[in-house]
Amino acid sequence: MIIKKNILIWYWGRHGFAQKYTNQIIKELLIINKKKKLYNFYYSYSNNAELSSLYDQIKIHKYPINTFTNSTQAFLKTLNLFKIKKEFLLFLNQKKIDKIYCPMFYYWNPYLSSSFRKMNIEYTFGIHDYSLHPGENNLIKQKIYTKEKKNVNKYVCYSKYVKNKLINIDKIKKQNILLSSLEFKNSVHKKKNNVKNLKFIFFGRLLKYKGIEKLINIFSKKYYFKNNISLTIIGSKDKNFDLPKINTSNISIISGWINESNINNIVRKYDVCVLPYEEASQSGVIPLMFNNSIPVIVTPVGGLSNQVKNNINGLISKKKNISSIESEIQRILNLKFFYKLRKGAIRQATNSNKKFSKNTLALYNFFK
């Protein structure tokens, strides 16, 4: 008789693509487990998450927790972390949890995960970024992130870039790292080829290292204004980053957090996404764009060049400077070439469904 291991999927984040990713991972793991029957799965999530209603629909043993909805609540809850930890560890003991998988970092993680080794619980952590990005001058966050890595037994990496960092710098053994990718299981939104003037978009948190100033510099030129070629910048602004002044009507900014349920309806209005990053591990924005038939232009940094296939579903600039990025923007203005890249983006999104299932099966086997 096989004794099933008890595995907890743990993510208390409230916003961002990690909610959706976690939700899909759990559903796929349950499908696999229905055939293989090796594990008992549990799920711990925040009742305050944007997509908590989706979590409620999953037939799985659950441990929901009330985190917070605003900064005041966050402060008060953080002061009460001792009680939260005590109750959480009690749950782990009662359910005899053997393994925990957290697909993405959350600020409270290190405080709770510091007890996992003592409880003989194997902790697998999904690592999105190896370290803070340039311009993210948050020493507290860096210390928390570093502390979290000390509690980890195994890693799931979403790019070769991060995997190599773990092996070469942290000396993590290869057998303790699973190389995965940020893929989603979605229906692909296909568009008609009736574009007259391309509408460009930058989507994501507005941070210094993302090179947004370069895009504003490019699209502020008279050529783009005269030819009705627009750029829309969408995302929540970091308090330490000030966008340059915009003096042309073909550039607009939509600043603020976009609810997860509204993202697809917003981004599919646009034709091309540009991510002129100075540095990156990988980007969850890229699969989002492909799923909405939007080719992506990226700079040759981090793992971005592994996510985009040059001249097939997007473009990779030769360098990360303004002239190199603009050169690729000029190339895609050729509508015939643009339609070719759009077709490639649709194909990539379709293939992502298969790749997602393959990645999740690898994760399932990684728990062994």
Which sequence spans correspond to the domains of the chain?
5-180, 199-351
CB of 195 closer than 8 Å to CB of 335:
yes
Whole-number Cα distances in Å, 111 to 91, 108, 114, 207, 222 = 16, 6, 6, 27, 53
Nearest 5°: phi and psi at 291?
Answer: -65, -20
Residues 177-186 pLDDT 10s: 999 988 877 7
Q: Is 80 exceeded by the pLDDT of residue 139?
A: no
Would you place residue 138 in the very low, low, confident or very high pLDDT band (cuts 50, 70, 90)? low
Q: Examine domains 5-180 and 199-351 and report if their fold is the same.
A: yes
Least confident of 103-112, 292-301, 319-328: 103-112
Greater model confidence, 351 or 145: 351
Cα separation, 343 vs 334, in Å, equals: 14
Task: Provide the whole-model pTM.
Answer: 0.88
Which percentage of the chain shows pLDDT scores above 70?
98
Residues 37-80 pLDDT 10s: 999 999 999 999 888 887 878 889 999 999 988 888 888 888 89
Residues in the chain: 368
CB of 315 closer than 8 Å to CB of 281:
no
Which percentage of the chain shows pLDDT scores above 90?
65
Q: Is 80 exceeded by the pLDDT of residue 187?
A: no
Residues 146-177 pLDDT 10s: 888 899 999 999 989 899 999 999 999 999 99
Which strand ranges, in their side-by-side order, compose the sheet holding 230-235? 251-255, 230-235, 199-203, 272-275, 296-298, 314-316
| CB within 8 Å of 316: residues ≥ 6 apart | 297, 298, 299, 300, 304, 305, 308, 310, 328
Homologous superfamily of 199-351 = Glycogen Phosphorylase B; (3.40.50.2000)
Q: Is 90 exceeded by the pLDDT of residue 292?
A: yes
Give the model's pLDDT for residue 83.
94
Q: Is 80 exceeded by the pLDDT of residue 135?
A: no
Hey, how many other C-beta atoms are within 10 angstroms of the C-beta on 303? 22
Q: What single string gives the DSSP state of each residue in 94-146?
A: HTT--EEEESS--TTHHHHHTTTTTTT-EEEEEES-SSPPTT---HHHHHHHH
Q: Is 80 exceeded by the pLDDT of residue 137?
A: no
Greater model confidence, 362 or 190: 362
Look over the chain and give the mean of its residue pLDDT values, rounded to a whole number: 91
Residues 319-365 pLDDT 10s: 999 999 999 999 999 999 999 999 999 999 999 888 999 999 999 99
Q: Domain 5-180 class?
A: alpha beta
Give the model's pLDDT for residue 176.
97
Give the model's pLDDT for residue 251.
94
Give the model's pLDDT for residue 349.
92
Residues 194-231 pLDDT 10s: 888 999 999 998 888 999 999 999 999 999 999 999 99
Give the model's pLDDT for residue 183.
83
Q: Is 90 exceeded by the pLDDT of residue 285?
A: yes
Give the model's pLDDT for residue 280.
87
